[in-house]
Amino acid sequence: HVQLVESGGGSVQAGGSLRLSCAASGDTYDSFCMAWFRQAPGQEREGIAVIEGADGTTTYAEAVRGRFTISRDSAKKTMYLQMNNLKSEDSGMYYCAEDFCPSSAAFARSWYRARSYSYWGRGTQVTVS
């Protein structure tokens, strides 16, 4: 059983920064892929960044590339999302998720899909005004 707990959300003005954390516990593996998703009201949950446990390779959605940085501390079993130059469209509930990484052949078309992950946190709210 895996438990994920997000923290670090809040309200910030456009152009500001926030750092989200996701603490994992239970039967989690260093080889897991860990990802950040976000969901705005009335919209689908979208994957925005993922980090591969095996080698730390990161992948970002176009909407956040260059502004957000995903990282993880394996010793602390914690993943982070540093969000800079925040925009109003970044507002939403942010979730962390993890599971075994998709195969190399499927990775590009599946890392950002919610159905690729079995374990989820409850989310942390980010509001940018």
At 35-57, the pLDDT tens digits run 999 999 999 999 999 999 888 99
Residue type for 107, please? Answer: F
* pLDDT value of residue 111: 95
Are 42 and 24 in contact by the 8 Å Cβ rule? The answer is no
Structure tokens at 77: 């079993």
* Mean pLDDT for the stretch of residues 79-95: 97
pLDDT at 97: 97
Contact 128, 91 (CB under 8 A): yes
Q: Rounded mean pLDDT of 76-98?
A: 97
CA–CA separation, 7 and 63 (whole Å):
22
Cα–Cα distance measured from residue 36 to residue 19, given in angstroms and rounded to the nearest whole number: 12
pLDDT of 104 over the 80 cut: yes
Question: How is residue 73 annotated by DSSP?
Answer: E
Is-contact 46 112, C-beta < 8 A?
yes
Cβ atoms of 97 and 114 closer than 8 Å: yes
